Structure 1
Amino acid sequence: MDGEEQIKKAYESILMHDFEQAVEWFGRAIAMNPHNAAFHYKLSITYARSNKLNKAIEHARQAVRMDSRETPYRLHLQNLQAKAFMVKAERYFTENEAQLWLAVSLLKRAIELDSLCLEAYLLLGHGYAMLKEYDQAISAIHTLLELDPQHEMGRRLLLEYQQRLKEKNNDSNERRKDWI
């Protein structure tokens, strides 16, 4: 047997919204044909849909290792890795400046991997705003809005960050006047 029957059963399970059963069927297919990159890719997608990011990345890596020519496999792995960077970055959103810079760095890496990820740009803008780097926050939100001009939160944050930048610049000008 080559595992195709198990793949069919996995898809039937998905249609019934039984993702745990689908994972089990994909696992059986892989046990029968462990070097089938497509099986690992399909299992990775199922894990990703179940928010089991580490398992999803593990099987996506296996699919890419087995068949690196398949562009969908590589893109899927990159998207998962970007998501992992975002999840990690969110843990560093604190009042600690060093941790905020680490979050910004992780989000930039996520964007390198998935340049269409709206959430990464949104979080990047938020991180920069927390650091009072409003020019960079505005730039991140601008990119978000180029990708999705109707993004409501992005539109709201753009106005907020522009206002904060204006206030910051006014404060700087006032301090300069006091020195003169």
Structure 2
Amino acid sequence: MKPDNYIQKAYHFILQNDFEEALRWFEAAIQANPGDAEVHYRCSITYGRSGRLEQAIRHAKEAVLLQEDKPEYHLHLQHLEALELVQKARKMVEGKTDASPKDLYQAAALLKSAISKDPLHSEAYVWLALVYSELNEHPLAITTLKEVISLFPQESGLQHIMEELKKRLKSYVLDLPTD
């Protein structure tokens, strides 16, 4: 079978929302022509949309290695790496009422790295703002959230988070000891 036929089959299944079958065809296309950067790239996108980040990153890296002059391959890889960093940071703090300051600072570092890799990754900004708030760095939390609001002003949920952060700041200021 010609490599293009594999890709056509993969897209046929994507249009039917059968991503597992589409991935099977992408993998077959890669087996038939492992040096095709575009197939690795497309396969990576499908893995990413299927929530299989590890495989998505593996194929994105392969696409970049095979064809370094394609900026879209680099951007895609950076986006996936940012997703991975956000996932790691979330695991460090999500649902933990007793997260240590060390964990929170490590999570903040991961989230800053995610933002540097993908400056439009809104979730990274939101989590960074929440981590700053947990560290009682409320001005940094609000500044970070203002940044993402300026990028995505249409997101009404961000305004709700901002109001919550402002309440936490007021509560924190009221709880400060007075001399």
Question: Please, what TM-score do these two structures have when normalized by structure 2?
Answer: 0.93
The answer as to whether partners of 1:2 and 1:33 remain within 8 angstroms in 2 is: no
Q: For residue 46 of structure 2, what is the aligned residue in structure 1? A: 46
Shift of 1:2: 4.6
Code of the residue aligned with 1:125 in structure 2: it is A
Provide, for residues 30-80 of structure 1, a one-character-per-residue CA deviation record: whole Å limited to 9, x for no partner: 111110000000100010011000000000000000011101100000000
Letter in 1 for 2:125: Y
- In structure 2, stretches of 5+ residues that fail to align are none
Q: In structure 1, how many angstroms separate the alpha carbons of the residues matched to 2:89 and 2:168?
A: 23
The count of corresponding residues between Structure 1 and Structure 2 is 175
Question: Is 1:113 the counterpart of 2:117 in the alignment?
Answer: yes
- Structure 1 runs (4+) deviating above 6 angstroms are none
Q: Secondary structure at the match of 2:143?
A: helix
Secondary structure at the aligned position of 1:92 is classed as helix
Identity among equivalent pairs (%): 39
The answer to whether structure 1 residue 175 and structure 2 residue 146 are counterparts is no
Q: TM-score, normalised by structure 1?
A: 0.92
Q: Give the match for residue 69 of structure 1.
A: 69
One-letter amino acid of the counterpart of residue 61, structure 1: K
- Residue identity matched to 2:169: L
Where in structure 2 are the equivalents of 1:14-33 lying within 5 Å? 14-33=14-33
Distance 1:21 1:170 in 2: 57
How far does the alpha carbon of each residue in 1:85-132 deviate from its partner, in whole angstroms, 9 at most, with x for none?
Answer: 000000110322111111111100000000001111111111111111
Spell out the pairing of 1:18-167 with structure 2 (5 A cutoff): 18-93=18-93, 94=96, 95=98, 96-167=100-171
